[in-house]
Chain A
Amino acid sequence: MTDTLLALDGLTKAYPGVIANDGVSFRIAPGEVHALLGENGAGKSTLVKMIYGLVKPDAGRMALRGAPYTPDRPSEARTNGVAMVFQHFSLFEALDVAENIALGMENPPRRRELAASIRQVSHDYGLPLDPARLVGELSAGERQRVEIIRCLLQNPRLLIMDEPTSVLTPQEVEILFATLRKLSSEGTAILYISHKLDEIRALCDAATVLRRGKVVGTCVPRETTAREMAELMVGTTLHTPERRHRENGETLLELRGVSLPAATPFGTNLHALSLKVQAGEVMGIGGVAGNGQDEFLSVLSGESLQEPGRVFVDGVDIGALPPQTRRSLGVLAAPEERLGHAAAPDMTLVENALLTGSVREKLAPHGLVNWAATRAFAARIIEAFDVRTPNADVAARALSGGNLQKFVIGREILQAPRVLVVNQPTWGVDAAAAATIRQALLDLAGQGAAVIVISQDLDELMEIADRFAALNAGRLTDPRATAGLSLDEIGLMMGGAHDMEVAHAAQ
């Protein structure tokens, strides 16, 4: 592989206040699986958006097969054989699979022919899909298949994949890798973006590591240890959270057969969830996105109410209590979506401190807001969790993802919860902030609280959880101790690749 498919030379892109890419150069050969490695915020997304024609570089050059390559828009990239599978999907829930695929093609054939080629290609690459199904009804893994098929139908020379495995079970990851290897053997180059080092070592031929927008190193992943790559990526030696010895406490939270119909057309129904969580325990809830995580959190936060006899904290039936009453009992939550759910983007940090803090911190006695006390509470959060912000009067949306997440988690932890539920506590957060947050959750459990961590990051759950259960299509598996649990077993708890087998059987 001496020839070059894509060459990047000194690509630079600045946004106000931040240089997203600073003189990035590397090359990809045909058929090469090239990893682009970096933390959240390292500039990976900006770089691939430039290659895909969504963003225009301020400086630098690209060359495709030796010819200058300056895509003005994605369609131009696509006609040049560059295709992309997005991290946050570029799909339309209310449209069917064939329509979604047609939208991503330059000159889609007539519907009947398109449906036939979708069936054909999806079968060839082991990614079965029904062209007539609405995308909203598909699982996250199946949606990704739609994106991949959309790319494959155009015979790409370069396939860009942005964090493709975050929505897959370990078994589905294996199937995806098999597909990618087949593609690569057929000569398609793959630019594979991830921060999961084991995957990169298993799949990729070469890796370029980005940190704060700059290339800080290149390596051959198979010859480099995960630890070396991690240090290259983060720039410092990582601190692993300390797990403390835990004694069995008494049951603090109990769910008895919680069911919930989905609130939105394409939401997930919860089916008879039962679970006991002890004081001092970190309970990890795994599962691929869209299997009922949001709904599960809403049952505990009080955004969805239950009939009596379903949810107990300390023996008190809280299932029908509204959020504020639950907070007064010490049941707190931090939802996944920071902007718009856990925090109001356009309101200040002070106001966002009041958002959940009013009850337990007594910030609004008799309904009258004590702004001085609220300000002090916000300052305490900022101080204790090292939230980087000029002051407490900036809008929440002005903070970086990691800083806002520290604020949101800190806001709940400082209220001394007895039960805390967090969803995706370190999603999109840089490594240092993630470590802080994980340590804080462990410390909270150490003080005797019951902590439920919902996450799609299995490494995270294995690191901090005492027990593990998986959400799969709105059902919860029996929890098992994390010590000694293998990746394969976890994958099976998450549903394995069962929908693939079903789909294969249907062929």
Chain B
Amino acid sequence: MIRLEKRPTPSQAWTVLTPPVAVLATMVAGGLMFAALGKDPFEAIRTIFYDPLFNDQFAAYSRPQLLVKAGPLILIAIGLSLGFRAGVWNIGAEGQYIVGALCGAGVGLAMYPSGSVLVFPAMVMAGALGGWAWAMIPAILKTRFNTNEILVSLLLVYVAEQLLASAALGLLRNPEGGGFPGSRNFQQWPAAANPELITGTGMHWGVVAAFVAVIGAYALLSRHLLGFQIRLTGAAPRAARFAGVNPTRLVVICLGLSGLLAGMAGLFEVTGPAGQISIDFGSGYGFTAIIVAFLGRLHPVGILLAGLLMALTYIGGELAQFMLGVPAAAIQAFQGMLLFFLLAVDVLSNYRLRFGTREVA
């Protein structure tokens, strides 16, 4: 009989070890899943985790993709992690990502075909504001009407997806696009484009923003009183009120920041890798970022690493799809499994396993 015994103080070692253990467990379970699909598990795991970085044939294409995919994941996850730490559950980052992209693209297209250097910064601002505003809906409903932010932020994703479809078909459709849905391609408009900054690296402004966000969040959480208040509110809400934390303000800040970052991520994506507003622009980054945030233990540095790893599963997944015929959905299930294992192993940072003597509980 195994039972759990609460540790007096959370284990530092397990806090760091949990994600790697979860990744290993996921590889094993994922391997079994691939085997069940009739694929060689070792080859599948190697294709996902190794080939994108080191295979002579694919690495040249795959390596830059790592930053391209990790950028938005990290940017969004950093924002989410602040809220998750405070017990504010924004799970509608996908919607904020879409609305950010729509607002930024809309502002940009209104200035078409200006060549001003201000076009791109204005779009970034508009994107950030759009994501922020979309996140303010659950924030205000939560603080004014006590409405559950989880459900509202999530339901707004479906609303945002409809807005996206509507914009791609109507308002933002490329007038020179021959009637096809989708906006103008920003990559072909230098003033609004978010290009690869250093050739062959995948580095674009969104990746830069992600790195800045990592550093900013690190400083906020470790050195600033606001960061302390965020952690305190998540750890002990009543103690936070006693300490003088204003819960309304904290909800607005956390949701606002995460919306802002998700909106920026959307804008960088639409002006960069995606290129245009299209019906299938929403790529699920907003949801995968939730996994990234948890896998990174809600810690900025952890999120940086987790974002890179999760980006690898995307690229490796595509590669496995192309090379081995592993279905795309398998990767999604694989990512979900990763979160399961993480949550399962997580118990070890706060509890010890005891074997033997049975306790009547």
Q: Direct A–B touching in the complex (beta carbon < 8 Å)? A: yes
Residues of A within 8 A of B (CB): 16, 53-56, 58, 72-73, 301-303, 322-324, 327, 333, 335, 337, 340-348, 351, 354-356, 358, 364, 367-369, 393-395, 397-398
Task: Verify A346–B236 contact, CB threshold 8 A.
Answer: yes
Task: Verify A324–B360 contact, CB threshold 8 A.
Answer: no
Which among A303, A344, A369 is the interface contact of B225 at CB below 8 angstroms?
A369
From residue A354, how far is it (CB to closest CB) to chain B in Å? 6
From residue A328, how far is it (CB to closest CB) to chain B in Å? 10
Q: State the CA gap A369–B228 with chains docked (Å).
A: 9
Q: State the CA gap A335–B8 with chains docked (Å).
A: 22
* Cβ of B46 under 8 Å from chain A: no
Q: B228, B232, B243, B360: which has the most chain A beta carbons within 10 Å? A: B243
Known: A344-B236, A367-B225, A368-B224. A355 touches B243 (CB 8 A): yes
Task: Verify A343–B239 contact, CB threshold 8 A.
Answer: yes
Task: Verify A340–B360 contact, CB threshold 8 A.
Answer: no
Task: Verify B242–A323 contact, CB threshold 8 A.
Answer: yes
Task: Verify B236–A397 contact, CB threshold 8 A.
Answer: no
Task: Verify B244–A323 contact, CB threshold 8 A.
Answer: yes
Task: Verify A369–B9 contact, CB threshold 8 A.
Answer: no
Q: State the CA gap A348–B228 with chains docked (Å).
A: 12
Q: State the CA gap A346–B233 with chains docked (Å).
A: 12
Which among A58, A72, A355, A368 is the interface contact of B239 at CB below 8 angstroms?
A355
Task: Verify A351–B228 contact, CB threshold 8 A.
Answer: yes
> What are 30 contact pairs spanning A and B, CB under 8 A?
A16-B5, A56-B359, A303-B241, A322-B246, A323-B241, A337-B238, A340-B239, A341-B236, A341-B238, A341-B239, A344-B235, A344-B239, A345-B236, A346-B10, A346-B235, A347-B235, A348-B9, A351-B228, A354-B228, A355-B232, A355-B239, A355-B242, A355-B243, A364-B228, A369-B224, A393-B9, A394-B9, A395-B8, A398-B8, A398-B9
From residue B113, how far is it (CB to closest CB) to chain A in Å? 44
Q: State the CA gap A308–B241 with chains docked (Å).
A: 21
Q: State the CA gap A210–B240 with chains docked (Å).
A: 38
Closest chain A residue to B352, Cβ basis = A16
Q: B8, B223, B244, B358: which has the most chain A beta carbons within 10 Å? A: B244
Task: Verify A340–B224 contact, CB threshold 8 A.
Answer: no
* Cβ of B57 under 8 Å from chain A: no
Q: B236, B241, B357: which has the most chain A beta carbons within 10 Å? A: B236
Q: State the CA gap A395–B12 with chains docked (Å).
A: 12
Task: Verify A356–B243 contact, CB threshold 8 A.
Answer: yes
* Cβ of B226 under 8 Å from chain A: yes
Residues of A with C-beta under 8 A to B8: 394-395, 397-398
Task: Verify A347–B232 contact, CB threshold 8 A.
Answer: yes
Task: Verify A347–B225 contact, CB threshold 8 A.
Answer: no
Residues of B with C-beta under 8 A to A398: 8-9
From residue A54, how far is it (CB to closest CB) to chain B in Å? 7
Residues of A with C-beta under 8 A to B5: 16
* 3 shortest interchain CB distances as A-B pairs: A398-B8, A323-B244, A344-B236
Residues of B with C-beta under 8 A to A327: 244
Known: A368-B223, A398-B9. A347 touches B360 (CB 8 A): no
Residues of A with C-beta under 8 A to B299: none
Known: A55-B360, A323-B243. A340 touches B228 (CB 8 A): no
Further 14 A-B residue pairs, CB within 8 A, beyond A56-B360, A344-B239, A356-B243: A56-B358, A341-B236, A344-B235, A354-B228, A355-B239, A355-B243, A364-B225, A364-B228, A368-B225, A369-B223, A369-B225, A397-B8, A398-B8, A398-B9
Residues of A with C-beta under 8 A to B241: 303, 323
Interface residues of B in 205-240 (CB under 8 A from A): 223-226, 228, 231-232, 235-236, 238-240
Which among A72, A342, A397 is the interface contact of B360 at CB below 8 angstroms?
A72
Task: Verify A322–B244 contact, CB threshold 8 A.
Answer: yes
Task: Verify A302–B244 contact, CB threshold 8 A.
Answer: yes
Residues of A with C-beta under 8 A to B232: 344, 347, 351, 355
Q: State the CA gap A303–B243 with chains docked (Å).
A: 9
Q: State the CA gap A346–B239 with chains docked (Å).
A: 11
Known: A56-B360, A358-B225, A368-B223. A342 touches B242 (CB 8 A): yes
Closest chain B residue to A304, Cβ basis = B241
Residues of B with C-beta under 8 A to A355: 232, 239, 242-243
From residue A338, how far is it (CB to closest CB) to chain B in Å? 10
Q: State the CA gap A395–B224 with chains docked (Å).
A: 20
Q: State the CA gap A333–B243 with chains docked (Å).
A: 10
Residues of B with C-beta under 8 A to A58: 357
From residue A197, how far is it (CB to closest CB) to chain B in Å? 33
Q: State the CA gap A53–B238 with chains docked (Å).
A: 34
Task: Verify A335–B223 contact, CB threshold 8 A.
Answer: no
Q: State the CA gap A347–B230 with chains docked (Å).
A: 13
Closest chain B residue to A17, Cβ basis = B8
Task: Verify A73–B360 contact, CB threshold 8 A.
Answer: yes
Residues of A with C-beta under 8 A to B224: 367-369
Task: Verify A340–B225 contact, CB threshold 8 A.
Answer: no
From residue B79, how far is it (CB to closest CB) to chain A in Å? 20
From residue A375, how far is it (CB to closest CB) to chain B in Å? 14
Q: State the CA gap A367–B224 with chains docked (Å).
A: 6
Q: State the CA gap A355–B225 with chains docked (Å).
A: 10
Which among A16, A303, A364, A397 is the interface contact of B242 at CB below 8 angstroms?
A303
Residues of B with C-beta under 8 A to A55: 359-360
Q: A301, A344, A347: which has the most chain B beta carbons within 10 Å? A: A344
Q: State the CA gap A64–B5 with chains docked (Å).
A: 32
Q: A342, A346, A355, A358: which has the most chain B beta carbons within 10 Å? A: A355
From residue B358, how far is it (CB to closest CB) to chain A in Å? 7
Q: State the CA gap A323–B245 with chains docked (Å).
A: 8
Q: A302, A346, A394: which has the most chain B beta carbons within 10 Å? A: A346
Residues of B with C-beta under 8 A to A341: 236, 238-239, 242
Interface residues of B in 318-361 (CB under 8 A from A): 357-360
Q: State the CA gap A73–B10 with chains docked (Å).
A: 31
Q: State the CA gap A397–B40 with chains docked (Å).
A: 48
From residue B140, how far is it (CB to closest CB) to chain A in Å? 21
